[in-house]
A and B are shown apart, each in its own frame.
Chain A
Amino acid sequence: MLTLVVGVGNPWRGDDAAGLEVADRVRARARDVAVETLEGDASALVHLWAGHDDVALVDAASSGAPPGTLHELRDGDGTLQAAALRSSTHAFGVADAVGLAAALGRLPDRLEIYAIEGGDFTLGAPLSPAVARTVDELATWLAGAGMCRTTDVRRPPL
Protein backbone atom coordinates (compact mmCIF):
# COMPACT_ATOMS: atom_id res chain seq x y z
CA MET A 1 0.00 0.00 0.00
CA LEU A 2 1.19 3.46 -0.90
CA THR A 3 2.35 5.16 2.31
CA LEU A 4 4.23 8.25 1.13
CA VAL A 5 3.84 10.79 -1.65
CA VAL A 6 6.74 13.18 -2.24
CA GLY A 7 6.15 16.27 -4.34
CA VAL A 8 9.21 17.94 -5.81
CA GLY A 9 9.38 21.35 -7.44
CA ASN A 10 9.55 25.08 -7.19
CA PRO A 11 6.32 26.84 -6.16
CA TRP A 12 7.32 30.08 -7.87
CA ARG A 13 8.09 28.78 -11.35
CA GLY A 14 4.77 28.06 -13.05
CA ASP A 15 4.39 24.38 -14.00
CA ASP A 16 7.49 23.44 -11.98
CA ALA A 17 5.06 23.46 -9.03
CA ALA A 18 3.14 20.45 -10.47
CA GLY A 19 4.70 17.94 -8.03
CA LEU A 20 4.05 20.20 -5.06
CA GLU A 21 0.45 20.73 -6.16
CA VAL A 22 -0.13 16.96 -6.44
CA ALA A 23 1.27 16.57 -2.90
CA ASP A 24 -1.03 19.26 -1.55
CA ARG A 25 -4.08 17.65 -3.14
CA VAL A 26 -3.19 14.17 -1.87
CA ARG A 27 -2.71 15.62 1.61
CA ALA A 28 -6.20 17.10 1.49
CA ARG A 29 -7.82 13.87 0.24
CA ALA A 30 -6.02 10.91 1.81
CA ARG A 31 -5.34 10.69 5.50
CA ASP A 32 -3.55 7.36 5.37
CA VAL A 33 -0.82 8.64 3.11
CA ALA A 34 2.11 10.64 4.42
CA VAL A 35 2.95 13.60 2.23
CA GLU A 36 6.26 15.41 1.97
CA THR A 37 7.38 18.20 -0.29
CA LEU A 38 10.87 19.02 -1.44
CA GLU A 39 11.85 22.35 -2.88
CA GLY A 40 15.57 22.10 -2.43
CA ASP A 41 18.35 19.56 -2.16
CA ALA A 42 17.19 16.13 -3.40
CA SER A 43 19.85 14.38 -1.29
CA ALA A 44 17.26 14.74 1.49
CA LEU A 45 15.09 12.09 -0.28
CA VAL A 46 17.04 9.25 1.33
CA HIS A 47 15.98 10.55 4.72
CA LEU A 48 12.46 11.53 3.66
CA TRP A 49 11.48 8.01 2.58
CA ALA A 50 13.26 6.14 5.38
CA GLY A 51 10.75 3.74 6.96
CA HIS A 52 8.45 3.78 3.92
CA ASP A 53 8.41 0.80 1.58
CA ASP A 54 5.91 2.06 -0.98
CA VAL A 55 6.56 5.57 -2.25
CA ALA A 56 5.39 7.75 -5.12
CA LEU A 57 7.46 10.76 -6.15
CA VAL A 58 6.06 13.45 -8.39
CA ASP A 59 8.14 16.07 -10.22
CA ALA A 60 7.76 18.29 -13.25
CA ALA A 61 9.34 17.47 -16.60
CA SER A 62 10.53 19.47 -19.57
CA SER A 63 11.08 17.01 -22.41
CA GLY A 64 9.30 18.64 -25.29
CA ALA A 65 6.15 16.49 -24.91
CA PRO A 66 2.74 18.27 -24.88
CA PRO A 67 2.12 20.07 -21.55
CA GLY A 68 0.21 17.88 -19.09
CA THR A 69 1.70 14.61 -20.41
CA LEU A 70 2.32 12.20 -17.53
CA HIS A 71 5.62 10.33 -17.70
CA GLU A 72 6.28 7.31 -15.53
CA LEU A 73 9.98 6.86 -14.94
CA ARG A 74 11.71 3.83 -13.47
CA ASP A 75 15.06 3.41 -11.88
CA GLY A 76 17.00 0.70 -13.63
CA ASP A 77 15.53 0.86 -17.14
CA GLY A 78 17.35 4.07 -18.00
CA THR A 79 14.25 6.28 -18.26
CA LEU A 80 15.01 8.04 -14.99
CA GLN A 81 18.63 8.78 -15.77
CA ALA A 82 17.70 9.89 -19.28
CA ALA A 83 15.07 12.23 -17.91
CA ALA A 84 17.63 13.57 -15.42
CA LEU A 85 15.13 15.50 -13.39
CA ARG A 86 17.27 18.46 -12.58
CA SER A 87 17.50 22.05 -13.54
CA SER A 88 20.58 22.98 -11.55
CA THR A 89 24.27 22.37 -12.14
CA HIS A 90 24.73 22.57 -8.43
CA ALA A 91 22.88 20.41 -6.01
CA PHE A 92 21.55 16.88 -6.26
CA GLY A 93 18.81 16.17 -8.74
CA VAL A 94 16.16 13.49 -8.24
CA ALA A 95 17.99 11.03 -10.52
CA ASP A 96 21.21 11.56 -8.51
CA ALA A 97 19.40 11.00 -5.23
CA VAL A 98 17.73 7.81 -6.51
CA GLY A 99 21.10 6.56 -7.80
CA LEU A 100 22.70 7.28 -4.47
CA ALA A 101 19.89 5.63 -2.49
CA ALA A 102 20.20 2.56 -4.73
CA ALA A 103 23.96 2.41 -4.08
CA LEU A 104 23.34 2.68 -0.36
CA GLY A 105 20.61 0.05 -0.41
CA ARG A 106 18.13 2.62 0.79
CA LEU A 107 15.53 2.63 -1.95
CA PRO A 108 11.98 1.88 -0.86
CA ASP A 109 10.82 -1.59 -1.99
CA ARG A 110 8.52 0.14 -4.37
CA LEU A 111 9.27 3.56 -5.82
CA GLU A 112 7.18 5.09 -8.55
CA ILE A 113 8.36 8.28 -10.14
CA TYR A 114 5.96 10.45 -12.06
CA ALA A 115 6.84 13.53 -14.00
CA ILE A 116 4.25 15.91 -15.35
CA GLU A 117 5.29 17.72 -18.48
CA GLY A 118 5.22 21.46 -17.96
CA GLY A 119 4.63 24.10 -20.58
CA ASP A 120 5.19 27.37 -18.81
CA PHE A 121 7.96 27.83 -16.24
CA THR A 122 7.60 31.60 -16.00
CA LEU A 123 8.32 33.18 -12.64
CA GLY A 124 5.09 33.58 -10.67
CA ALA A 125 2.88 31.94 -13.31
CA PRO A 126 -0.02 29.68 -12.28
CA LEU A 127 -0.22 26.06 -13.47
CA SER A 128 -1.11 25.76 -17.17
CA PRO A 129 -4.66 24.39 -17.63
CA ALA A 130 -3.42 21.10 -19.16
CA VAL A 131 -0.94 20.62 -16.29
CA ALA A 132 -3.60 21.45 -13.68
CA ARG A 133 -5.84 18.71 -15.18
CA THR A 134 -3.09 16.09 -14.95
CA VAL A 135 -2.26 17.25 -11.41
CA ASP A 136 -5.89 16.66 -10.40
CA GLU A 137 -6.11 13.26 -12.08
CA LEU A 138 -2.84 12.00 -10.64
CA ALA A 139 -3.67 13.32 -7.15
CA THR A 140 -7.09 11.64 -7.22
CA TRP A 141 -5.51 8.42 -8.39
CA LEU A 142 -2.70 8.49 -5.80
CA ALA A 143 -5.11 9.36 -2.99
CA GLY A 144 -7.16 6.31 -4.01
CA ALA A 145 -4.08 4.12 -4.24
CA GLY A 146 -3.30 4.92 -0.63
CA MET A 147 -6.51 3.29 0.44
CA CYS A 148 -6.19 0.34 -1.87
CA ARG A 149 -4.63 -2.47 0.12
CA THR A 150 -5.19 -5.36 -2.16
CA THR A 151 -4.20 -4.55 -5.66
CA ASP A 152 -0.67 -5.37 -6.55
CA VAL A 153 -0.57 -3.72 -9.90
CA ARG A 154 -1.16 0.02 -9.96
CA ARG A 155 -1.28 1.95 -13.14
CA PRO A 156 -1.77 5.68 -13.21
CA PRO A 157 -4.19 7.33 -15.62
CA LEU A 158 -1.47 7.77 -18.23
Chain B
Amino acid sequence: MAERKLLSGPLARVEGEGSLHVRLRDGRVEEVRLEIFEPPRFFEAFLRGRAFTEVPDITARICGICPVAYQMSSIAAMEEACGVTVPEPVRALRRLLYCGEWIESHALHVFFLHGPDYLGYDSAFAMARDHRGIVERALQLKKAGNALMRVVGGREIHPVNVRVGGFYRAPTRGELASVVEELEVAREFARESVAWTAGLPCPDLEEDFEFVALRAPGTYAIENGRLASSSGLDLAPGEYAEHFAEHQVPHSTALHSRLRGGGQAYLTGPLARYALSGDRLSPTAREAADDAGLGSVVRNPFKSIVVRAVEILYAVDEALRLVDAYEPPDPPAVPVVPRAGTGHGWSEAPRGMLWHRYAIDEQGTILDARIVPPTSQNQARIEQSLATVVAAHAALPDDELQHRCEQAVRSFDPCISCATHFLRLEIERC
Protein backbone atom coordinates (compact mmCIF):
# COMPACT_ATOMS: atom_id res chain seq x y z
CA MET B 1 0.00 0.00 0.00
CA ALA B 2 1.24 3.47 -0.83
CA GLU B 3 2.27 5.50 2.17
CA ARG B 4 -0.57 7.64 3.41
CA LYS B 5 -0.70 10.02 6.26
CA LEU B 6 -3.80 11.86 7.27
CA LEU B 7 -4.00 14.89 9.50
CA SER B 8 -7.20 16.44 10.61
CA GLY B 9 -8.21 19.48 12.62
CA PRO B 10 -9.27 19.29 16.25
CA LEU B 11 -11.84 16.59 16.88
CA ALA B 12 -14.95 18.25 18.17
CA ARG B 13 -17.58 17.20 20.65
CA VAL B 14 -15.36 15.78 23.34
CA GLU B 15 -14.64 17.42 26.64
CA GLY B 16 -11.10 18.79 26.56
CA GLU B 17 -8.03 18.71 24.37
CA GLY B 18 -6.35 15.68 22.93
CA SER B 19 -5.76 13.87 19.69
CA LEU B 20 -5.91 10.42 18.28
CA HIS B 21 -2.98 8.96 16.41
CA VAL B 22 -3.57 5.88 14.28
CA ARG B 23 -0.80 4.12 12.33
CA LEU B 24 -1.64 1.47 9.76
CA ARG B 25 1.00 -0.57 7.95
CA ASP B 26 -0.22 -2.51 4.91
CA GLY B 27 -3.75 -2.15 6.20
CA ARG B 28 -2.91 -3.55 9.63
CA VAL B 29 -3.19 -1.54 12.81
CA GLU B 30 0.25 -0.93 14.17
CA GLU B 31 -0.45 1.65 16.82
CA VAL B 32 -3.34 3.59 18.31
CA ARG B 33 -2.59 6.36 20.76
CA LEU B 34 -5.08 8.56 22.51
CA GLU B 35 -2.79 11.52 23.01
CA ILE B 36 -3.76 13.89 25.75
CA PHE B 37 -1.81 17.11 25.69
CA GLU B 38 -3.94 19.05 28.07
CA PRO B 39 -1.49 20.75 30.40
CA PRO B 40 -1.23 19.05 33.78
CA ARG B 41 -3.53 20.73 36.24
CA PHE B 42 -1.76 20.13 39.55
CA PHE B 43 -4.93 19.92 41.63
CA GLU B 44 -3.47 17.22 43.83
CA ALA B 45 -0.46 19.41 44.55
CA PHE B 46 -2.30 22.58 45.42
CA LEU B 47 -4.73 20.77 47.69
CA ARG B 48 -1.78 20.15 50.00
CA GLY B 49 -1.79 22.63 52.85
CA ARG B 50 -5.48 23.49 52.43
CA ALA B 51 -8.14 22.76 55.05
CA PHE B 52 -10.08 19.47 54.83
CA THR B 53 -13.29 21.49 54.61
CA GLU B 54 -12.17 23.07 51.32
CA VAL B 55 -12.16 19.91 49.18
CA PRO B 56 -15.69 20.07 47.79
CA ASP B 57 -15.27 23.62 46.51
CA ILE B 58 -11.72 23.17 45.19
CA THR B 59 -12.16 19.80 43.49
CA ALA B 60 -15.51 20.82 41.95
CA ARG B 61 -13.42 23.14 39.76
CA ILE B 62 -11.79 20.18 38.05
CA CYS B 63 -14.89 19.85 35.87
CA GLY B 64 -17.79 22.08 34.79
CA ILE B 65 -19.86 19.07 33.73
CA CYS B 66 -19.43 16.77 36.71
CA PRO B 67 -18.58 19.03 39.68
CA VAL B 68 -20.98 17.09 41.93
CA ALA B 69 -18.99 13.90 41.36
CA TYR B 70 -15.85 15.63 42.64
CA GLN B 71 -17.73 17.05 45.57
CA MET B 72 -19.26 13.71 46.54
CA SER B 73 -16.08 11.64 46.24
CA SER B 74 -14.02 14.23 48.12
CA ILE B 75 -16.41 14.66 51.03
CA ALA B 76 -16.85 10.88 51.32
CA ALA B 77 -13.07 10.59 51.66
CA MET B 78 -12.90 13.34 54.29
CA GLU B 79 -15.77 11.86 56.26
CA GLU B 80 -14.03 8.49 56.27
CA ALA B 81 -10.80 10.14 57.42
CA CYS B 82 -12.66 11.83 60.28
CA GLY B 83 -14.72 8.77 61.21
CA VAL B 84 -18.09 10.35 60.43
CA THR B 85 -21.10 8.69 58.85
CA VAL B 86 -23.78 11.09 57.64
CA PRO B 87 -27.46 10.47 58.48
CA GLU B 88 -29.75 8.95 55.86
CA PRO B 89 -31.55 12.22 54.95
CA VAL B 90 -28.20 13.84 54.10
CA ARG B 91 -27.22 10.84 51.96
CA ALA B 92 -30.58 10.98 50.16
CA LEU B 93 -30.21 14.70 49.43
CA ARG B 94 -26.71 14.09 48.05
CA ARG B 95 -28.11 11.40 45.77
CA LEU B 96 -30.80 13.83 44.59
CA LEU B 97 -28.20 16.46 43.70
CA TYR B 98 -26.19 13.77 41.89
CA CYS B 99 -29.30 12.78 39.85
CA GLY B 100 -29.41 16.38 38.58
CA GLU B 101 -25.81 16.08 37.38
CA TRP B 102 -26.42 12.72 35.67
CA ILE B 103 -29.44 14.12 33.80
CA GLU B 104 -27.64 17.28 32.74
CA SER B 105 -24.37 15.62 31.76
CA HIS B 106 -25.90 12.64 29.95
CA ALA B 107 -28.40 14.84 28.07
CA LEU B 108 -25.49 16.97 26.82
CA HIS B 109 -23.60 13.91 25.66
CA VAL B 110 -26.45 11.89 24.16
CA PHE B 111 -28.02 14.71 22.15
CA PHE B 112 -25.33 17.30 21.55
CA LEU B 113 -22.02 15.46 21.51
CA HIS B 114 -22.72 11.89 20.40
CA GLY B 115 -26.19 11.78 18.81
CA PRO B 116 -25.21 13.76 15.67
CA ASP B 117 -22.65 11.00 14.80
CA TYR B 118 -25.36 8.42 14.23
CA LEU B 119 -27.40 10.58 11.89
CA GLY B 120 -24.49 11.92 9.86
CA TYR B 121 -24.41 15.46 11.21
CA ASP B 122 -21.26 17.23 12.18
CA SER B 123 -22.92 19.25 14.94
CA ALA B 124 -26.00 19.41 17.09
CA PHE B 125 -26.93 22.66 15.31
CA ALA B 126 -27.07 20.91 11.97
CA MET B 127 -29.07 18.11 13.58
CA ALA B 128 -31.42 20.63 15.21
CA ARG B 129 -32.59 21.95 11.84
CA ASP B 130 -33.88 18.52 10.78
CA HIS B 131 -34.71 17.01 14.17
CA ARG B 132 -36.17 19.92 16.01
CA GLY B 133 -38.34 17.82 18.36
CA ILE B 134 -35.36 15.78 19.53
CA VAL B 135 -33.25 18.81 20.32
CA GLU B 136 -36.14 20.60 22.03
CA ARG B 137 -36.56 17.51 24.19
CA ALA B 138 -32.85 17.49 24.98
CA LEU B 139 -33.01 21.10 26.12
CA GLN B 140 -35.95 20.27 28.37
CA LEU B 141 -34.04 17.39 29.92
CA LYS B 142 -31.01 19.57 30.53
CA LYS B 143 -33.27 22.19 32.02
CA ALA B 144 -34.76 19.67 34.47
CA GLY B 145 -31.26 18.56 35.51
CA ASN B 146 -30.16 22.17 35.92
CA ALA B 147 -33.25 22.92 38.03
CA LEU B 148 -32.37 20.12 40.43
CA MET B 149 -28.77 21.32 40.66
CA ARG B 150 -29.97 24.86 41.39
CA VAL B 151 -32.55 23.92 44.02
CA VAL B 152 -30.32 21.50 45.92
CA GLY B 153 -26.85 22.80 45.09
CA GLY B 154 -27.47 26.54 45.06
CA ARG B 155 -26.50 26.94 41.40
CA GLU B 156 -26.24 24.90 38.20
CA ILE B 157 -22.51 24.71 37.72
CA HIS B 158 -20.12 24.23 40.58
CA PRO B 159 -22.77 24.01 43.31
CA VAL B 160 -22.00 25.96 46.48
CA ASN B 161 -24.23 24.19 49.01
CA VAL B 162 -22.16 21.04 49.58
CA ARG B 163 -19.94 20.66 52.63
CA VAL B 164 -18.10 17.96 54.48
CA GLY B 165 -20.76 16.54 56.84
CA GLY B 166 -23.78 17.53 54.71
CA PHE B 167 -25.18 20.77 53.28
CA TYR B 168 -25.00 24.44 54.27
CA ARG B 169 -28.78 24.67 53.92
CA ALA B 170 -31.41 22.03 53.31
CA PRO B 171 -34.00 23.00 50.69
CA THR B 172 -37.57 23.09 51.96
CA ARG B 173 -40.14 20.54 50.76
CA GLY B 174 -41.83 23.36 48.90
CA GLU B 175 -38.65 24.27 47.06
CA LEU B 176 -38.19 20.68 45.93
CA ALA B 177 -41.87 20.41 44.98
CA SER B 178 -41.25 23.24 42.51
CA VAL B 179 -39.24 20.90 40.26
CA VAL B 180 -41.70 17.97 40.28
CA GLU B 181 -43.75 19.06 37.29
CA GLU B 182 -40.61 19.63 35.24
CA LEU B 183 -39.26 16.23 36.24
CA GLU B 184 -42.53 14.52 35.30
CA VAL B 185 -42.35 16.03 31.83
CA ALA B 186 -38.68 15.02 31.71
CA ARG B 187 -39.59 11.42 32.57
CA GLU B 188 -41.76 11.14 29.46
CA PHE B 189 -39.03 12.75 27.34
CA ALA B 190 -36.46 10.39 28.83
CA ARG B 191 -38.62 7.37 28.06
CA GLU B 192 -38.99 8.52 24.44
CA SER B 193 -35.25 9.15 24.29
CA VAL B 194 -34.44 5.54 25.12
CA ALA B 195 -36.57 4.40 22.18
CA TRP B 196 -35.00 7.10 19.94
CA THR B 197 -31.43 6.10 20.75
CA ALA B 198 -32.28 2.40 20.35
CA GLY B 199 -33.48 3.13 16.82
CA LEU B 200 -30.28 4.91 15.72
CA PRO B 201 -28.21 3.08 13.08
CA CYS B 202 -25.40 1.49 15.08
CA PRO B 203 -22.14 -0.13 13.92
CA ASP B 204 -21.73 -3.80 14.93
CA LEU B 205 -19.00 -4.42 17.42
CA GLU B 206 -18.90 -6.81 20.37
CA GLU B 207 -16.08 -6.47 22.83
CA ASP B 208 -15.01 -8.34 25.89
CA PHE B 209 -14.81 -5.63 28.53
CA GLU B 210 -13.60 -5.98 32.08
CA PHE B 211 -16.26 -3.80 33.67
CA VAL B 212 -15.58 -1.94 36.92
CA ALA B 213 -18.28 -0.01 38.78
CA LEU B 214 -19.72 0.63 42.19
CA ARG B 215 -22.53 -1.60 43.32
CA ALA B 216 -24.93 -0.95 46.18
CA PRO B 217 -27.51 -3.21 47.77
CA GLY B 218 -30.95 -2.90 46.22
CA THR B 219 -30.19 0.22 44.22
CA TYR B 220 -28.30 1.49 41.16
CA ALA B 221 -25.11 2.81 42.74
CA ILE B 222 -24.50 6.53 42.36
CA GLU B 223 -23.15 8.30 45.42
CA ASN B 224 -21.57 5.30 47.13
CA GLY B 225 -21.22 1.54 47.16
CA ARG B 226 -18.56 -1.14 46.97
CA LEU B 227 -16.45 -1.65 43.89
CA ALA B 228 -17.49 -4.61 41.77
CA SER B 229 -16.05 -5.95 38.52
CA SER B 230 -16.80 -8.53 35.83
CA SER B 231 -14.17 -10.77 37.38
CA GLY B 232 -15.69 -10.58 40.84
CA LEU B 233 -13.87 -7.83 42.75
CA ASP B 234 -15.70 -6.63 45.83
CA LEU B 235 -13.75 -3.74 47.37
CA ALA B 236 -14.03 -0.95 49.90
CA PRO B 237 -12.66 2.46 48.88
CA GLY B 238 -9.52 1.91 50.95
CA GLU B 239 -8.67 -1.23 48.98
CA TYR B 240 -8.68 0.40 45.53
CA ALA B 241 -4.96 1.15 45.31
CA GLU B 242 -4.07 -2.46 46.14
CA HIS B 243 -5.84 -3.63 42.99
CA PHE B 244 -5.36 -0.80 40.50
CA ALA B 245 -2.17 0.98 39.44
CA GLU B 246 -1.69 4.25 37.62
CA HIS B 247 1.26 4.67 35.30
CA GLN B 248 2.61 7.30 32.97
CA VAL B 249 2.73 6.98 29.20
CA PRO B 250 4.80 9.39 27.11
CA HIS B 251 1.91 10.48 24.86
CA SER B 252 -0.48 11.63 27.56
CA THR B 253 -0.54 14.12 30.41
CA ALA B 254 -3.21 11.91 32.01
CA LEU B 255 -2.13 8.80 33.81
CA HIS B 256 -3.27 5.42 32.53
CA SER B 257 -4.83 3.06 35.03
CA ARG B 258 -4.74 -0.73 34.87
CA LEU B 259 -5.51 -3.70 37.07
CA ARG B 260 -2.52 -4.85 39.06
CA GLY B 261 -1.22 -8.31 38.30
CA GLY B 262 -1.50 -8.72 34.55
CA GLY B 263 -2.01 -5.05 33.78
CA GLN B 264 -5.41 -5.56 32.21
CA ALA B 265 -7.17 -2.48 30.89
CA TYR B 266 -10.74 -2.04 32.15
CA LEU B 267 -13.81 0.05 31.58
CA THR B 268 -15.77 2.16 34.00
CA GLY B 269 -18.89 4.22 33.21
CA PRO B 270 -22.42 3.57 31.92
CA LEU B 271 -21.72 0.20 30.24
CA ALA B 272 -20.01 -1.07 33.40
CA ARG B 273 -22.73 0.19 35.71
CA TYR B 274 -25.41 -1.31 33.50
CA ALA B 275 -23.67 -4.70 33.36
CA LEU B 276 -23.08 -4.85 37.10
CA SER B 277 -26.25 -3.21 38.45
CA GLY B 278 -28.76 -3.38 35.59
CA ASP B 279 -31.03 -5.54 37.75
CA ARG B 280 -31.22 -2.64 40.22
CA LEU B 281 -32.73 -0.07 37.86
CA SER B 282 -36.18 1.31 38.63
CA PRO B 283 -39.03 -0.68 37.02
CA THR B 284 -39.61 2.15 34.51
CA ALA B 285 -35.95 2.28 33.45
CA ARG B 286 -35.66 -1.52 33.38
CA GLU B 287 -38.75 -1.80 31.19
CA ALA B 288 -37.40 0.86 28.81
CA ALA B 289 -34.07 -1.00 28.59
CA ASP B 290 -35.88 -4.28 27.86
CA ASP B 291 -38.06 -2.62 25.23
CA ALA B 292 -34.90 -1.24 23.65
CA GLY B 293 -33.57 -4.81 23.44
CA LEU B 294 -30.52 -4.14 25.59
CA GLY B 295 -30.37 -7.47 27.44
CA SER B 296 -28.44 -7.74 30.67
CA VAL B 297 -25.00 -6.74 29.34
CA VAL B 298 -24.12 -4.33 26.52
CA ARG B 299 -20.72 -5.06 24.91
CA ASN B 300 -21.01 -2.75 21.91
CA PRO B 301 -19.51 0.64 22.87
CA PHE B 302 -21.59 2.33 20.12
CA LYS B 303 -24.66 1.22 22.09
CA SER B 304 -23.50 3.20 25.13
CA ILE B 305 -25.75 6.03 23.89
CA VAL B 306 -28.79 3.83 24.64
CA VAL B 307 -27.46 2.96 28.08
CA ARG B 308 -26.92 6.66 28.82
CA ALA B 309 -30.54 7.32 27.81
CA VAL B 310 -31.65 4.56 30.20
CA GLU B 311 -29.57 6.19 32.93
CA ILE B 312 -31.21 9.57 32.24
CA LEU B 313 -34.60 7.89 32.69
CA TYR B 314 -33.38 6.20 35.86
CA ALA B 315 -32.00 9.46 37.28
CA VAL B 316 -35.27 11.31 36.59
CA ASP B 317 -37.27 8.48 38.12
CA GLU B 318 -35.00 8.30 41.14
CA ALA B 319 -35.09 12.09 41.58
CA LEU B 320 -38.91 12.00 41.64
CA ARG B 321 -38.83 9.21 44.22
CA LEU B 322 -36.33 11.11 46.39
CA VAL B 323 -38.33 14.35 46.17
CA ASP B 324 -41.50 12.50 47.14
CA ALA B 325 -39.84 10.90 50.18
CA TYR B 326 -37.92 14.06 51.13
CA GLU B 327 -37.57 15.06 54.72
CA PRO B 328 -35.20 18.01 55.12
CA PRO B 329 -32.12 16.88 57.06
CA ASP B 330 -32.14 18.70 60.40
CA PRO B 331 -29.52 19.87 61.04
CA PRO B 332 -28.43 20.04 57.38
CA ALA B 333 -24.92 18.95 58.32
CA VAL B 334 -23.37 16.90 61.10
CA PRO B 335 -20.27 18.22 62.83
CA VAL B 336 -16.99 16.83 61.52
CA VAL B 337 -13.99 17.10 63.81
CA PRO B 338 -10.68 16.48 62.04
CA ARG B 339 -8.23 13.82 63.19
CA ALA B 340 -4.94 12.69 61.75
CA GLY B 341 -5.42 9.92 59.21
CA THR B 342 -6.21 8.87 55.69
CA GLY B 343 -9.62 8.74 54.04
CA HIS B 344 -10.84 7.27 50.76
CA GLY B 345 -14.02 8.10 48.88
CA TRP B 346 -15.62 7.25 45.57
CA SER B 347 -18.81 7.72 43.62
CA GLU B 348 -20.19 7.13 40.13
CA ALA B 349 -19.53 10.26 38.05
CA PRO B 350 -21.55 10.33 34.80
CA ARG B 351 -18.39 9.01 33.04
CA GLY B 352 -17.54 6.40 35.65
CA MET B 353 -16.03 5.73 39.01
CA LEU B 354 -14.14 8.61 40.60
CA TRP B 355 -11.77 7.79 43.48
CA HIS B 356 -10.23 10.23 45.95
CA ARG B 357 -7.75 9.69 48.78
CA TYR B 358 -6.56 12.29 51.28
CA ALA B 359 -4.16 12.25 54.19
CA ILE B 360 -4.80 14.96 56.77
CA ASP B 361 -3.17 15.96 60.06
CA GLU B 362 -4.91 16.47 63.41
CA GLN B 363 -5.85 20.06 62.45
CA GLY B 364 -7.41 18.82 59.25
CA THR B 365 -4.70 20.24 56.98
CA ILE B 366 -4.32 18.21 53.80
CA LEU B 367 -0.94 16.48 53.63
CA ASP B 368 -1.48 14.48 50.48
CA ALA B 369 -4.18 14.12 47.83
CA ARG B 370 -4.80 11.60 45.07
CA ILE B 371 -7.60 11.80 42.52
CA VAL B 372 -8.27 9.11 39.93
CA PRO B 373 -10.91 10.26 37.43
CA PRO B 374 -12.88 7.90 35.17
CA THR B 375 -11.28 9.03 31.89
CA SER B 376 -7.83 8.18 33.22
CA GLN B 377 -9.07 4.75 34.13
CA ASN B 378 -10.66 4.24 30.72
CA GLN B 379 -7.81 5.57 28.54
CA ALA B 380 -6.00 2.30 28.02
CA ARG B 381 -9.26 0.49 27.29
CA ILE B 382 -10.36 3.21 24.85
CA GLU B 383 -7.10 2.72 22.91
CA GLN B 384 -7.73 -1.03 22.82
CA SER B 385 -11.28 -0.53 21.50
CA LEU B 386 -10.07 1.93 18.89
CA ALA B 387 -7.57 -0.60 17.61
CA THR B 388 -10.46 -3.03 17.13
CA VAL B 389 -12.57 -0.39 15.41
CA VAL B 390 -9.72 0.60 13.08
CA ALA B 391 -8.96 -3.06 12.27
CA ALA B 392 -12.61 -3.74 11.48
CA HIS B 393 -12.90 -0.68 9.24
CA ALA B 394 -9.36 -0.42 7.80
CA ALA B 395 -10.74 -0.74 4.26
CA LEU B 396 -12.71 2.49 4.61
CA PRO B 397 -11.34 5.62 2.99
CA ASP B 398 -9.60 8.00 5.37
CA ASP B 399 -12.52 10.38 5.88
CA GLU B 400 -14.96 7.57 6.72
CA LEU B 401 -12.45 5.81 8.92
CA GLN B 402 -11.81 9.05 10.70
CA HIS B 403 -15.51 9.57 11.30
CA ARG B 404 -15.89 6.05 12.66
CA CYS B 405 -12.94 6.58 15.03
CA GLU B 406 -14.34 9.85 16.27
CA GLN B 407 -17.70 8.23 16.88
CA ALA B 408 -15.96 5.45 18.79
CA VAL B 409 -13.98 7.88 20.96
CA ARG B 410 -17.12 9.84 21.71
CA SER B 411 -18.96 6.64 22.69
CA PHE B 412 -16.69 6.56 25.75
CA ASP B 413 -17.55 10.19 26.54
CA PRO B 414 -13.99 10.98 27.57
CA CYS B 415 -13.61 14.01 29.77
CA ILE B 416 -10.05 14.90 28.96
CA SER B 417 -10.34 18.03 31.07
CA CYS B 418 -11.01 15.88 34.08
CA ALA B 419 -8.27 13.43 33.27
CA THR B 420 -5.75 16.19 33.06
CA HIS B 421 -8.30 18.64 26.96
CA PHE B 422 -9.56 18.81 22.15
CA LEU B 423 -9.05 15.84 20.13
CA ARG B 424 -7.17 15.89 16.88
CA LEU B 425 -7.08 12.81 14.71
CA GLU B 426 -4.05 11.61 12.84
CA ILE B 427 -4.13 8.50 10.64
CA GLU B 428 -0.82 7.32 9.27
CA ARG B 429 -0.89 4.64 6.59
CA CYS B 430 2.44 3.20 5.61
Contact = CB atoms under 8 A, between A and B. Distances in A.
A50 B231 CA distance: 51
From A39, A46, A99, A103, residue with most partner B Cβ within 10 Å: A103
Interface string B97-138: 000000010001000000000000000111011001001100
Given A41-B156, A89-B422, A90-B417, A104 B135 contact: yes
Contacts of B125: 96, 99-100, 102-103
Interface in A28-78: 39-41, 43-44, 46-47
Contacts of B64: 88, 90-91
* A interface: dominant SS: helix
* B interface: dominant SS: helix
Given A100-B128, A103-B128, A104-B132, A43 B142 contact: yes
A103 to B, nearest CB: 4
Contacts of A104: 128, 132, 135-136
A39 B157 contact: yes
From A89, A99, A100, residue with most partner B Cβ within 10 Å: A89
A41 B159 CA distance: 13
A89 B17 contact: yes
B146 interface: yes
A89 B17 CA distance: 8
Interface size class of B (residues with CB under 8 A): 20 to 34
A105 interface: yes
Interface residues of A, number: 18
B143 interface: yes
B58 interface: no
B132 A105 contact: yes
Interface in B62-82: 63-65
B135 A100 contact: yes
Contacts of B417: 89-90
B25 interface: no
Given A40-B155, A41-B146, A41-B157, A90 B132 contact: no
A89 B126 CA distance: 20
B350 interface: no
Given A89-B422, A91-B108, A100-B125, A39 B132 contact: no
A57 B225 CA distance: 45
Contacts of A103: 125-126, 128-129, 132, 135
A39 to B, nearest CB: 7
B281 to A, nearest CB: 27
B223 interface: no
From A39, A102, A104, residue with most partner B Cβ within 10 Å: A104
Contact of B157 (A47, A91, A105): A91
Nearest to B138: A43
A147 B142 CA distance: 34
A100 B125 CA distance: 5
B16 interface: yes
Interface of A: 39-41, 43-44, 46-47, 88-91, 96, 99-100, 102-105
24 contacts: A39-B155, A39-B156, A41-B104, A41-B142, A41-B146, A41-B156, A41-B157, A43-B142, A46-B139, A47-B139, A47-B143, A88-B64, A90-B15, A90-B63, A90-B64, A91-B65, A96-B125, A100-B125, A100-B135, A102-B125, A103-B129, A104-B132, A104-B135, A105-B132
Given A40-B157, A89-B17, A90-B63, 14 more contacts: A39-B155, A39-B156, A40-B155, A41-B157, A43-B139, A44-B156, A90-B417, A91-B108, A100-B128, A100-B135, A102-B125, A103-B126, A103-B135, A104-B132
